[in-house]
């Protein structure tokens, strides 16, 4: 499954918040040092998309994305510089 992480993360485009949550949970379990840069890039892109979206629907997803990025930085501290700039 680790080799399919970028295919799995595409599930974040689903309009269903429950699917997005499951996708994030799965991605957090599968992320590895070889895929962390790509995962962070996708999470940051999704976070940017939530800025202009419907406030009610995007707030929960935005919070989930921030928590996922935070978990990634804790597990892989070497990427902290790419997250905060």
Cα 51 from chain centroid (whole Å): 15
Contact by Cβ (8 Å): 46, 65: yes
Per-residue model confidence (pLDDT) at position 53: 65
Token reading at 56: 């009610």
The whole-model pTM stands at 0.87
CB 72 within 8 A of CB 36: yes
pLDDT digits (tens, 9 = 90+) for 11-55: 999 989 999 999 999 999 999 999 999 999 999 999 988 887 666
| Among candidate residues 59, 56, 28, the one with its CA nearest the CA of residue 43 | 28
Is the pLDDT assigned to residue 3 strictly greater than 80?
no
For residues 33 and 35, give the distance between their C-alpha atoms in angstroms, rounded to a whole number. 6
pLDDT at position 35 is 93
């Amino acid at each position: 499954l680790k080799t399919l992480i970028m295919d799995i993360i595409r599930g974040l485009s689903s309009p269903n918040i429950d699917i997005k949550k499951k996708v994030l949970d799965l991605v957090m379990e599968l992320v590895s040092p070889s895929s962390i840069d790509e995962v962070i890039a996708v999470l940051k892109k999704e976070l940017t998309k939530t800025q202009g979206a419907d406030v009610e629907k995007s707030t929960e997803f935005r919070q989930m994305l921030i928590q996922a990025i935070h978990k990634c930085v804790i597990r892989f501290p070497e990427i902290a510089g790419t997250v905060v700039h």
